[in-house]
Amino acid sequence: MFGDVQARRLTNGFKLTRVGVTGVKKQVTVRRKGMQGCLNCIIDVYVDLPSNQRGSHLSRNLEIISEAVEMSVSQPVGGLEILCRDVCKELLERHEYATYAEVSIIADYFLNRTGPSGRISKESFKLMAQAYGKRGNGLRKIIGAQAIGMTACPCAQEIMRDMVRKELLTLGLSPEEAFEFAKRLPVATHNQRGRGMISIQVCDRRCVSLDEIIKIIERSMSSRVFGLLKRPDEALVVQRAHNNPKFVEDCVRTMAQKVVESFKYLPDDAVIVLKQINEESIHQHNAFAERSATMGELRAELGAEDSARANASKSEVEKND
């Protein structure tokens, strides 16, 4: 009876790369090292579709998601990337025509943070998880996070420090004394809200620590930020940021170094994506930096640079503008 519908199907029978549903909101119960509780998730799932089939069975996607979410209540999932993988497997199982499956999750996450004066308060983060793969080829899992911090521009600070030095000369200091003394002062620059992101492709046996990922992001900026800062705390944050000025590029490179140092057990072919967006206070637009590489590539560059450090003074490149 539905024959004519299906006959129409063949008049434009192209393969489709991804077909699915996006923006599915669910609460998932997670138990992971350092994390236990409910995460509010936004979920996207896709499979491919062969050229000779008109439609993908979208309601199966919702069945799979609902069952996985339901089961997490009694048996919490070990992580969002694990949930992504399990849903991926089930997608390939129930869409028998599919050769590819992909699942992405974004979730809000809250974590205790100790402020400069010891005060503990919850800060919010974003988690990003993904799994994807072709049938029979294994699935790749990715886990990541986004954290907000503060960056202070080293370039503008250099110029301001130069102004400070000139003022110090008027006090009778020698150029060398002025140079040294200026280093001790909290010299102005522009600073801004920054957003760092790390995503790490994980292998099956080891669970990557989300808290570690978030710590790396936070510590790769000029300073962490806090919801609650009394005046002395606020001064400490400002001082820390100005003692540790960072370009958007510096943030990404610091993340790269810390990822290499912290995740020694990850295989060389694990893909790492590192991003930093600085919501510049002196512009309407944002500054952006990104590195996408394998662990192997990052390791090689860190090694290469270790030996290069000896020659540092010879190869200085100026940032003139």
> Considering only residues 234, 269, 296, 303, which one is a binding residue for its own copies as defined by CB under 8 A?
234
Q: Which stretch binds its own copies (CB under 8 A): 76-84, 133-141, 196-204, 224-232?
A: 224-232
Contact flag: residue 315 with its own copies (CB under 8 A) = yes
- The phi-psi region of residue 172 (left if phi > 0; otherwise alpha if psi is between -120 and 50; otherwise beta) is left
Q: What are phi and psi of 108, to 5 degrees?
A: -80, 145
Contact flag: residue 16 with its own copies (CB under 8 A) = yes
Q: Three-class SS of residue 96?
A: coil
Q: Do residues 17 and 61 make contact, with C-beta atoms less than 8 angstroms apart?
A: no
Q: Do residues 100 and 147 make contact, with C-beta atoms less than 8 angstroms apart?
A: no
Contact flag: residue 124 with its own copies (CB under 8 A) = yes
Residues 254 to 283: which contact its own copies by CB under 8 A? 254, 256-257, 277, 279-283
Contact flag: residue 135 with its own copies (CB under 8 A) = no
Give min distance, CB of 243 to its own copies, in A.
9
Q: Three-class SS of residue 190?
A: coil
- Residue number with CB closer to its own copies (11 or 137): 11
Residues 53 to 82: which contact its own copies by CB under 8 A? 53-60, 62-63, 66, 69
Contact flag: residue 104 with its own copies (CB under 8 A) = no
Give the torsion through C-alpha atoms of 228, 234, 237, 238, to 10 deg.
140
Q: What are phi and psi of 260, to 5 degrees?
A: -60, -45
Give min distance, CB of 184 to its own copies, in A.
6
Residue 315 identity: S
Rounded Cα distance between 33 and 204, Å, is 15
Query: What's the distance, CA 164 to chain centroid?
Result: 37
Residue 309 identity: R
- The phi-psi region of residue 248 (left if phi > 0; otherwise alpha if psi is between -120 and 50; otherwise beta) is alpha
Rounded Cα distance between 283 and 295, Å, is 34
Number of residues engaging its own copies in binding (CB under 8 A): 136
Contact flag: residue 14 with its own copies (CB under 8 A) = yes
> Which residues have a Cβ under 8 Å from the Cβ of 146 and sit 6 or more positions away?
125, 126, 128, 195, 196, 197, 217
Give min distance, CB of 204 to its own copies, in A.
27
Residues 183 to 202: which contact its own copies by CB under 8 A? 184-193
Give min distance, CB of 79 to its own copies, in A.
19
Contact flag: residue 284 with its own copies (CB under 8 A) = yes
> Considering only residues 71, 207, 238, 271, which one is a binding residue for its own copies as defined by CB under 8 A?
238
> Considering only residues 23, 74, 137, 176, which one is a binding residue for its own copies as defined by CB under 8 A?
23
> Considering only residues 33, 122, 134, 206, which one is a binding residue for its own copies as defined by CB under 8 A?
122
Contact flag: residue 169 with its own copies (CB under 8 A) = no
> Considering only residues 36, 52, 75, 114, which one is a binding residue for its own copies as defined by CB under 8 A?
52
> Considering only residues 159, 169, 174, 269, which one is a binding residue for its own copies as defined by CB under 8 A?
159
> Which residues have a Cβ under 8 Å from the Cβ of 314 and sit 6 or more positions away?
none
> Considering only residues 31, 163, 206, 265, which one is a binding residue for its own copies as defined by CB under 8 A?
163
